[in-house]
Amino acid sequence: MKKLITILVPAYNEEEVLPLLMKRLDSLTGQLPNYSWELLFINDGSKDKTDEMLRSYAESDSRISYVNFSRNFGKEAALIAGFDYAKGDAVVNIDADLQDPPELIPEMIRYWEEGYDDVYAKRRSRAGETWFKKFSSRTYYRILQSSTLVPLQVDTGDFRLLSKRAVEAMKQFRESERYTKGMFSWIGFKKKELLYDRDPRAAGMAKQNYRKLINLAIDGITSLTTAPLRISTYVGAFTSFVAFVYIVYLLVRPLFGVPTVPGYASTLAVILFLGGIQLLSLGIIGEYVGRIFNETKRRPLYFVETYHEGAHHTKK
């Protein structure tokens, strides 16, 4: 029996790249006849022709499976659904937009055969991204890493191969505030890094807008670490201490005959400063309380409208 490899593709309004993607995946799988393939698409509530296209591809290609979500649940939900539905002995995640070259997959498979559980692609360059996006993502990872003990993989996306047991591990993360990238780090197992150049999107527009990315960034921090809560404690303690010393100084000053000008400016400054710190701390605590609220609801992570299961043999 050949081993089955699942290629997992989350797709949201990707009608423009799907033909290109199919062609690239087709030639790739053609190069590796010693494996069976499952091409598993998670259609994340696309509003364009993505689902019709998947249906018609699946008619002529039995390797294709697809899951249609009942609405757009976001990429993180699409990934966990992919892990839930994947049948493969290994699962390769890849974005639909061909920013990650499928040609790297044979090498990933080679390392997997050597016994690695998580073969991830690390970006050497990021063509087609603005300097601001590069800068903000670099700074973000630096902050995130310094706040947690789990070693994170910088400049890696979700383009990676996971072994069966790594997928089983990923499936156990049922939290609703998801930061999949952090989970890949969290599960551990034998990891192997591959370097590659990230291409610009092959077609269509980026589907993750800045709002989604910022939300994801906050989820990243609050799902991996409670360090910000501690920071607010430290900052609060420090400013209170400074304020206390200042008050003592104000009380003692008249004893030494220093003329005291009744000043409200300094008082106001201190109050405003402390008020700011308090609001910040409340905000941080609020973020976590919100997370607790969402997690306690234990909502399902996604709803499936239709599932088409391919035959997982070689191409018909």
Task: Work out whether 158 is an interface residue with Mg ion (CB under 5 A).
Answer: no
Residue 171 C-beta: closest distance to Mg ion, Å: 24
Find the residue with minimal CB distance to Mg ion.
Answer: 97
Q: Choose the one of Mg ion, ligand UDP, none that binds residue 78, judging by a C-beta under 5 to 8 angstroms depending on kind.
A: ligand UDP
Enumerate binding residues for ligand UDP (CB under 6 A). 10-12, 14, 44, 72, 74-75, 78, 95-97, 99, 206-208
CB-wise, 208 or 306, nearer to ligand UDP?
208
Q: Which amino acid, one-letter code, is at 10?
A: P
Stretch that binds Mg ion, among 23-31, 91-99, 138-146, 184-192 (CB under 5 A): 91-99
Question: If contact means CB under 5 to 8 A according to the sort of partner, which of Mg ion, ligand UDP, none does residue 191 touch?
Answer: none
The least CB distance from residue 226 to ligand UDP, in Å, is 26
The entry of ligand UDP, Mg ion, none that residue 16 binds, CB within 5 to 8 Å by partner kind: none
Residue 46 binding Mg ion, by CB under 5 A: no
Name which of ligand UDP, Mg ion, none residue 126 binds, using a CB cut-off of 5 to 8 Å depending on partner kind: none
Among 16, 97, 117, 158, binds Mg ion (CB under 5 A): 97
By a kind-dependent CB cut-off of 5 to 8 A, residue 239 interacts, out of ligand UDP, Mg ion, none, with none
CA–CA dist 234, 116 (Å, integer):
41
CB of 298 vs ligand UDP, minimal distance in Å: 22
Task: List interacting residues with Mg ion (CB under 5 A).
Answer: 97, 99
